[in-house]
Chain A
């Protein structure tokens, strides 16, 4: 069950010819796939295209109606390899995954696919995660398109352009027998807008047709001598076909302007930001009417020589606004222009920063430099530094007390970063609390981290984890750190990473190479970091997929002898003991601890509805939450350092004698129990209490309550009276 439901929105996918679709970019892409007559779709979730996978999962009825096969692939490599269906058959297929991290995993399949080429249109939708808010290493997917000679589209970030790019992408792919990458930037994925729909199309050929009439063509298989032919074919046939198609269909756009002697070149994805920057300079209006001619490359690769030559022919200078590095476009353009003997001055990274996101402010600075150099705008006046004048002071002023010194503070001191952390009640938190507590007993260990929510353990307050090498590679990245005598390294791996590749790259590799390390597999029933999608080991029932395959069986299946499953991660003692045993046992070979508890976000979504219904029906419901007695809390905040729960916070000390703020539990507490476990295990303090709030109490509850009230009430009243006598 994914974090966000699109059940209502997917009805928009049924819109007919000429209607107005209003919604998010991701949903528009799905609609465009249906309008393009796609036969199959596959992918692996991950921001920013997680929602695309969720939309597709929620749209299963519509996909079935159109005879479309949809797969939640095991990995990006699986997704990319599924495009093999378009090699021999005129079947249109689309796959999607996240940015360079996904493309890295997929690139073996992509390279093979690109070598042999395709018959049916093959579209690879890559969610580009670059710049602000990104959670990955900053690289460009562009390089993959170049090295395998696939074409790459980067449309302007509005719904009509994105939808058109999907359709053009399939046509381009078929016209040039080449897979096409559609780069969707993170903000484009989530942009809200409108477009006019077309009728959905069924694929002319069905998957059954293909299976019943298999086609085999040795020339499409990557084996010598065909592989040598492929390389020539790419250059001699597919590339020129692509260039011809791009020129004819006018995929790239030219916008005219009155400043004829200069020009700007931008990829489609950066268009809106450029227009805003020009608008702020007074050189464009809100409708994009620019005074400077623009060449907007909706096709980021390949570059079209003729278009470059045409755009630059009457210009003194051209500025390329190319985000990210290396500056592939700029280098390529320089080569094209040089060989054509063009005299235009080419600018790019000489005026703009080499690295980092090109936001409006960055573009503004670069544009200013360019326009000043070519005398299109006046240089900004330099503000002269203000000379400090010491006022003459009258004598009688000296006798007055000096005014209090005004301390100028800077806002940087007051604004803290908010690193992401584990959600309230997250079952992964106790795993790291246990590791922290264990650290106090047996010292620090090398911790090899992995991709997933559990990666938040590297941040405060846990500060655990030394490296992260990629999704599912937590185990693999500790493989060299094996020694018969040293401490054992600890690897952390999520269930998502485990099924993605960790089972083989980490666990099986450890068995084969006789590793002695510990791998903790965090089994919370979903790929939680990408939005709570189901995987093989999900405990939920999923009508579309086969779930409930135990991780422990898989681990034992590849030969691990020492496996412990902790079924309730909140049991801190059990968690700590399992880890301690794994790190100290004399048994040789890889150790695996499987830490199980369901993702709290998913659990709460389900539970809240049930509780609401039970309450409405007048049934007895017990809600648990934690609290802290502020009069016994001494404000040391050890509990927070061992938890970091968003519900566990601080508040001003109500005690007039004390200064340090006390710990406090917010009402968002879901009563997971970790606070109590921590205060027990770490022998913290007696301030924590758990309140069991009983709604609709039954007769037994009421009887007990009456009995208690009489005795406890009597004693409490007596004590209060004694205290009152001495109160003032």
Chain B
């Protein structure tokens, strides 16, 4: 991009980047109103249309001092679109939109004040990825910070919500707070009042944002991660488990392994946690404590696999009091409001068979009259109201089947798969720990329920077959390539191509 070195100009140029429905138009109108009531000639325009439907829109405002125009007895010629390198203020309602402004050259270090929210509204490409398709927010912030003369940023969606208002009011507050426009706070507030719609919450959000902008320090964002380990517990059974973690694993892994132990107990019982530690110990014994990455990833994925989502687990999680509270919180129901929670479930005959003791489950999977009868009753999904007595007791009794989980068909199936996977990891580790690391991460392919699970498992098998066939010839990077390909699309086309590319078909 060829940046301009524009000469001094009395025209104030403001670009607003917003997505449909975020009030970018309202903000532009506010700025126009603010200017016109305070001795400025204002012009704004935009290109609405399909952009209203979730797309991004640029609103552009120019302000010119009325006084200078009268002195010259002329009207200024104002532009209808922002010019890269020639914008004073950029307001972006979301972080990627700030990135877009930078990309289009509207933000330049010589003059542009950039005001943006740090929250993300994910793009469809980020959302529909089969794994993690998110763009790194820090990267966007770094680019924006580098491009702007001054960069004011905080989570404005949060600020809007906290004040029961919308993001346009927060942006307006931040604009006032930066002091880049020649108007005082009162002039801004009068503009909001003249609008006449939702004045109180808008003023509240405006005020909060004004204060945040003026405060120099930025709010610290917390990052979720592994909780710190608390080594002292009352229960002797637990004490014993924690002792094992401490002795058998390098310190770097303690957090992850303890999390795994916690998960096993929550999922099944203390004995199950012991099995988890036994399995990990077998690996540690064979590869040594120095292979940190391999051990950590195996500890993580083993815990996830051993706590596979069966009907018992789902029923257990759905009926917990903590879950009821979380839903109340998430849907923002107040204490005065009542809440009904309805689950969308689709138990197929496969799930029913897998929840039964293995011999009965295997028998029921065979095509005979009973199978057909049950299949007929499970063709459509069911809505279960967990908050009603009937629905709750139904799910609660399913969750009680935890005691007999080890006898279920699903347990037998998963247990065999886990053993096979661990064997492969261990075998690979013997000659190439890096390959073993890639192998351990292949568990990521197996996730979800019913069709999604079947698809993931099929992909996993194809990858594992390739690993088995290749043995020591398989390069870790090749395996990673295959795994990424398996996550690239739903139809396995990318995996087909990747297998062909590496001549592994």
Chain A residues with CB under 8 Å of chain B are 3, 22, 47-48, 129, 132-133, 135, 157-158, 186-188, 190-193, 271-273, 275-276, 279-280, 282, 286-288, 359-361, 364-365, 409, 411-423, 453, 456, 459-461, 529, 573, 625, 627, 629, 631-632, 634-638, 640-641, 644, 646, 648-650, 652-654, 656-661, 667, 675-676, 679-686, 688-697, 701-702, 705, 707-708, 711-713, 715-717, 719-720, 723, 725-728
Is B47 a contact of A649 with CB atoms below 8 Å? no
21 pairs of residues in contact across A and B, judged by CB atoms under 8 Å: A158-B75, A286-B77, A359-B81, A359-B83, A360-B86, A415-B99, A418-B19, A625-B331, A632-B314, A637-B130, A644-B128, A650-B122, A657-B259, A680-B344, A689-B341, A691-B342, A693-B337, A695-B336, A708-B389, A712-B389, A727-B262
Give the top 9 A-B pairs by smallest Cβ distance, nearest first: A680-B381, A133-B47, A47-B49, A716-B321, A634-B447, A360-B83, A416-B123, A692-B340, A287-B74
Do residues A416 and B125 form an inter-chain contact, with CB atoms below 8 A? yes
Closest to B79 in A: A276
List of A residues within 8 angstroms of B125 by Cβ: 416-417, 460
Contact residues in B for A416 (Cβ distance below 8 Å):
96, 123, 125-126, 135
| Contact A694-B140, Cβ < 8 Å, known A419-B55, A688-B343, A726-B270 | no
Contacts of B450 in A (CB 8 A): 683-685
Min CB–CB distance B387 → chain A (angstroms): 7
Contact partner of A716 among B2, B313, B319, B346, CB < 8 A? B319
Residue of B nearest to A289 (CB): B74
Cβ–Cβ < 8 Å partners of B176 in chain A: none
Please state if B123 and A271 are interface contacts (CB–CB under 8 Å): no
User: Can you name the residue of chain B whose Cβ is closest to the Cβ of A622?
Assistant: B340
Residue B143 interfacial (CB < 8 Å): yes
By a CB distance below 8 angstroms, the chain B residues around A359 are 81, 83
Q: When chains A and B are docked, how far (Å) is the Cα of A412 from the Cα of B124? A: 16
What does the 1/0 interface line of B222-266 toward A look like (CB < 8 Å)?
A: 001111001001010010001000000000000110011011011
Within 8 Å CB of B130, what residues of A? Answer: 636-637
Pair A656/B340 contact, Cβ less than 8 Å? no
Contacts of B415 in A (CB 8 A): none
Q: Mark B197-234, 1 if CB is under 8 A from A, else 0.
A: 00000000000000000000000000011110010010
Out of A132, A641, A708, name the residue touching B47 (CB < 8 Å).
A132
Residue of A nearest to B76 (CB): A286
Are B44 and A632 in contact, with the CB atoms below 8 A?
no
Q: Closest CB-CB distance, B490 to chain A, in whole Å?
A: 7
Give the residue among B99, B126, B340 with the most A Cβ atoms within 10 A: B340
A633 (CB) vs chain B CBs: closest residue = B448
Could you tell me the distance between the alpha carbons of A245 and B384 in the complex, rounded to whole angstroms?
77
Which of B7-15, B281-289, B422-430 is the interface stretch? B7-15
Bound: A193/B40 CA distance, A: 12
In the complex, are the beta carbons of B331 and A691 less than 8 A apart?
Answer: yes
A686 with B4: in contact, given A411-B103, A415-B99 (CB under 8 Å)?
no
Distance A129 CA – B49 CA, assembled complex (angstroms): 10
Assess the B47–A656 pair: CB atoms within 8 A. no
A660 to B133, CA, bound (A): 9
Q: When A133-B51, A460-B125 are in contact, do A689 and B346 touch as well, CB less than 8 Å?
A: no
Closest B residue to A646 using CB positions: B54
B262 in complex: contacting residue of A190, A192, A683, A728, CB < 8 Å: A728
Contacts of B320 in A (CB 8 A): 716, 719-720
Contact-size category for B? 35 or more
State whether A190 and B79 are in contact (beta carbons under 8 Å apart), knowing that A280-B6, A649-B121 are contacts in the complex: no
Main secondary structure of the interface of B (DSSP, over half): mixed
Task: Establish whether residues A420 and B327, one from each chain, have CB atoms under 8 Å apart when the complex forms.
Answer: no
B128 contacts A683, C-beta separation under 8 Å: no
Bound Cα distance from A654 to B48, whole angstroms = 38
- The answer to whether A420 and B50 touch across the interface, beta carbons within 8 angstroms, is yes
Bound Cα distance from A129 to B74, whole angstroms? 30
Output the nearest chain A residue to B345 by Cβ-Cβ distance. Answer: A686
Please give, as numbers and ranges, the residues of chain B lying within 8 Å of A644 by CB-CB distance: 124, 127-128
Considering the chains assembled together, what is the distance between the CA atoms of A629 and B317 in angstroms?
9
Which chain A residue has the least Cβ–Cβ distance from B340?
A692
- Indicate if B279 sits at the interface (CB-CB under 8 A): no
Interchain CB contact under 8 A, B331 and A187 = no
B290 close to chain A: CB less than 8 A:
no
Contacts of B262 in A (CB 8 A): 727-728
The answer to whether residues A360 and B387 also contact, given A286-B11, A287-B76, A697-B338 and a CB cut-off of 8 A, is no
Determine whether the beta carbon of A280 is less than 8 Å from that of B86.
yes
* B462, CB-defined interface residue at 8 Å: no
Q: Are A191 and B80 in contact (CB under 8 A)?
A: yes
- A423 with B53: in contact, given A273-B81, A649-B121, A679-B346 (CB under 8 Å)? yes
Interface residues of B in 1-58 (CB under 8 A from A): 2, 4, 6-7, 9-11, 19-20, 29, 32, 36, 42-57
Given A421-B53, A631-B317; A708-B388 close (CB under 8 Å): yes
- Which chain B positions have C-beta within 8 A of A47? 48-50
Q: From residue A427, how far is it (CB to closest CB) to chain B in Å?
A: 14
B32 to chain A, nearest CB (A): 6
| Distance to closest chain A CB from B242 (angstroms) | 8
Given A656-B227, A686-B345, A688-B344 in contact, is the A694-B338 Cβ separation under 8 Å? Answer: yes
Pairwise interchain contact B449-A685, C-beta atoms closer than 8 A: yes
Q: In the complex, which residues of chain B have a beta carbon less than 8 angstroms from the beta carbon of A634? A: 309, 447-449, 452
Distance in Å from the Cβ of A52 to the closest Cβ of chain B?
13
B169 → chain A closest CB, angstroms: 17
Tell me, in angstroms, the Cα distance from A90 to B93 when the chains sit together: 52
Verify B389–A190 contact, CB threshold 8 A.
no
B386 CB, nearest partner CB in chain A, Å: 8
Question: Once bound together, how far apart are the Cα atoms of A644 and B122, in whole Å?
Answer: 11
- B61-94 contact mask (Cβ, 8 Å, vs A): 1 or 0: 0001000010010111111110110100000000
Question: Which of chain A's residues have a CB closer than 8 A to the CB of B447?
Answer: 634-636, 660
CB pair B32 A632 closer than 8 Å: no
Give the distance in Å from the alpha carbon of A636 to the alpha carbon of B129 in the complex. Answer: 8
Residue among B45, B64, B238, B262 with most chain A CB within 10 A? B45
Interchain CB contact under 8 A, A411 and B327 = no
* Among candidates B2, B83, B260, B383, residue contacting A657 with C-beta atoms closer than 8 Å: B260
A692 to B220, CA, bound (A): 35
Query: Measured between C-beta atoms, what is the minimum distance from A195 to chain B in Å?
Result: 11
Q: B322 touching A720 by the CB < 8 A rule?
A: yes
